[in-house]
């Protein structure tokens, strides 16, 4: 990964660690609404590729009351290139997690699950329409991951070998 000042302007804006951390935090909050133990680290790496990829985000946002597995079944285009996106987004997720940890916004449990720390991040979703959309979809994705409650099923659904 390139140093921050050596990255192209577009990359610095799109994959800002604070924004990526916020998206991850919203997904973790969504997960905790269904399962208070927190999100498994392995699932958290799938959040940014789903929420920051416009086509995937629009498909998920267009069916907020539907189950994620059903959405993926009806919209196989979400799976196209997903594994590559996960790999490409991993460094940005790590930067986001690093910032969240450094600021005391998340904690890692003894079981390796990630949990949010209350009252560290604003509850209101603010920003541009696109950043709001990313945050809202992150919450949906987090909740759906918790409802599915099986990492192998989630990974297999998106065409990734666990």
In a domain, 2, yes or no: no
In a domain, 162, yes or no: no
Q: Tell me which residue range forms the domain holding 141.
A: 10-157
In a domain, 119, yes or no: yes
| Alpha carbon distance 94, 129 (integer Å) | 25
User: What is the model's pLDDT at position 161?
Assistant: 76
3-state helix, strand, coil in the chain (%, to 5): 65, 5, 30
Taking CA atoms, 95 is separated from 35, 70, 108, 120, in Å, by 25, 31, 16, 18
- Per-residue pLDDT tens listing for the chain (162 residues): 777 788 888 887 788 999 999 999 999 999 999 999 999 999 999 999 999 999 999 999 998 778 999 999 999 999 999 999 999 999 999 999 999 999 999 999 999 999 999 999 988 888 889 999 999 999 999 999 999 999 999 999 998 876
In a domain, 19, yes or no: yes
User: What is the model's pLDDT at position 162?
Assistant: 64
In a domain, 84, yes or no: yes
pTM, full prediction: 0.93
User: What is the model's pLDDT at position 39?
Assistant: 97
User: What is the model's pLDDT at position 64?
Assistant: 72
Q: Which two tokens stand for residue 147?
A: 């409802």
| Alpha carbon distance 79, 61 (integer Å) | 16
In a domain, 5, yes or no: no
In a domain, 3, yes or no: no
Taking CA atoms, 38 is separated from 30, 59, 107, 110, in Å, by 10, 25, 9, 11
In a domain, 102, yes or no: yes
User: How many structural domains is the chain composed of?
Assistant: 1
**Among candidate residues 42, 53, 100, the one with its CA nearest the CA of residue 77:** 53
User: What is the model's pLDDT at position 21?
Assistant: 96
């Amino acid at each position: 990964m390139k140093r921050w000042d050596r990255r192209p302007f577009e990359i610095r804006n799109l994959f800002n660690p604070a924004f990526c951390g916020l998206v991850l935090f919203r997904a973790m909050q969504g997960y905790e609404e269904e399962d208070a133990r927190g999100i498994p680290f392995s699932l958290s790496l799938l959040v940014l590729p789903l929420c920051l990829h416009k086509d995937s985000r629009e498909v998920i946002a267009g069916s907020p009351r539907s189950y994620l597995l059903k959405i993926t079944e009806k919209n196989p285009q979400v799976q196209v290139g997903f594994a590559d996106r996960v790999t490409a987004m991993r460094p940005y997720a790590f930067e986001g997690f690093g910032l969240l940890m450094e600021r005391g916004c998340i904690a890692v449990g003894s079981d390796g699950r990630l949990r949010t720390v209350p009252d560290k991040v604003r509850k209101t979703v603010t920003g541009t329409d696109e950043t709001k959309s990313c945050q809202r979809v992150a919450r949906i994705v987090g909740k759906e991951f918790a409802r599915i409650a099986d990492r192998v099923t989630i990974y297999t659904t998106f065409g990734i070998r666990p």
